[in-house]
Amino acid sequence: MKGCALALLLAVGPGLSVHAQQLPSGIPAPVYLWPQGAPGALGQGEADKPRMYAFLPEKRSTSTAVLVIPGGGYEHVAIGHEGVQIAGWLNTQGVAAFVLDYRVAPYRYPAPIEDGEQALRLIHEHAAEYGIDPNRVGVWGFSAGGHLASTLGTLCTGEAHRVGGAQINCARPAFLVLAYPVISMELPEAHAGSRKALLGTDPDAALAHALSNQFNVTGETPPTFLFATTSDPTVPVRNSLDFYSALVEHHVPAELHIYDYANHGCGLCGSIVPLSTWPMLLRNWLVQRGWIPPDAPPPPPPQPNLPAWIDRLAGPGQFDGHW
């Protein structure tokens, strides 16, 4: 079943540059975010080298690109079904995708945020080489990756400023897609595991508030699409509701889809019939907002999920497949 989803990915990117001896088939060569060493690196191993993978479709339908940020509770990176598979979904429609493998525990704030900023920076700086428009770069995050994505969407203003002692300096994304996202770092709304992994056991209250992104929304926050389930057993749906409410309050274009279901972490949810319709709702929103042209190739049909981690792939978010 998982092979079907991987076959879909391989079918859409035959022109990618691949190191066959080092990388699984169909995975492009990694773009290291900090070739000279990441700030605050704890070592020199694979876990200390954040990277992204540029999945460029053979045929483009648009100059739009998407930075894809998988979840994993800031402890792992679910790069398979929330990264590589998402790139395949976008590539099928002619959209370039960049999948981020960022530093996680024992790294804490600001390391993951720095990696997200740097990925955006590199995508913008090399837009011409990638054949994309730097003004059309969106960010799509899942779960804890949704917290990172919403942090980039609310705190990236194009001007340098400090948040909790760390400098934020990045261009604002063009749009956000947040799937069952972590938004708050304040209990009881926060996902306790993500909060602990990012900020520590007893985080500074001011920093936890500063990184609770429902409070960071302004009229300049990018248009946002949100998807979640009412009875999410891991991340309270209140995270999505509060972020959406803040967007509405500040007159930011926003669309929220809450399914009467209990699930967390299903990615495109191809094997869950009640949830498998959400990617088409997203496609419709992307077309409506002008990020994908109406005549772009259709998205692929629902597929079983890839595993959370891709065999023989190494990186900061690597884990054994068990949460």
So what's the pLDDT on residue 23?
Answer: 73
pLDDT 10s digits, 39-95: 999 999 999 999 999 999 999 999 999 999 999 999 999 999 999 999 999 999 999
So what's the pLDDT on residue 63?
Answer: 98
The two beta strands, 65-69 and 137-142, are: parallel
The two beta strands, 96-101 and 51-55, are: antiparallel
Classify residue 3 by burial, with Cβ atoms within 10 Å: 0-12, 13-18, 19+.
exposed
Asked whether residue 19 carries a pLDDT value surpassing 80, the answer given is no
With beta carbons less than 8 A apart as the criterion, state whether 50 and 33 touch: yes
Asked whether residue 13 carries a pLDDT value surpassing 60, the answer given is no
- How many DSSP H helices and E strands does the chain contain? 9, 10
* Average pLDDT of the residues of the chain: 91
Average pLDDT over residues 172-177: 97
With beta carbons less than 8 A apart as the criterion, state whether 136 and 71 touch: no
The two beta strands, 137-142 and 166-168, are: unpaired
- Report the predicted TM-score, pTM, of the whole model to 2 decimal places: 0.93
Give DSSP secondary structure letters for 195-254.
HHHHH-SS--HHHHHHT-GGGS--TTSPPEEEEEETT-SSS-THHHHHHHHHHHHTT--E
So what's the pLDDT on residue 131?
Answer: 96
pLDDT band at 34 (very low <50, low <70, confident <90, very high): very high
pLDDT band at 302 (very low <50, low <70, confident <90, very high): very high
So what's the pLDDT on residue 22?
Answer: 55
Asked whether residue 232 carries a pLDDT value surpassing 70, the answer given is yes
Nearest to 11 by CA among 53, 52, 58, 70: 58
Structure tokens at 124: 């913008």
So what's the pLDDT on residue 160?
Answer: 85
Question: Which residues on neighbouring strands pair with residue 259, listed in sequence order?
Answer: 229
Classify residue 43 by burial, with Cβ atoms within 10 Å: 0-12, 13-18, 19+.
exposed
Average pLDDT over residues 273-296: 98
DSSP 44: S
So what's the pLDDT on residue 320?
Answer: 58
User: CA–CA separation, 105 vs 120, rounded Å?
Assistant: 21
- The domains found in the chain, sorted by start residue, are 2-288 (3.40.50.1820)
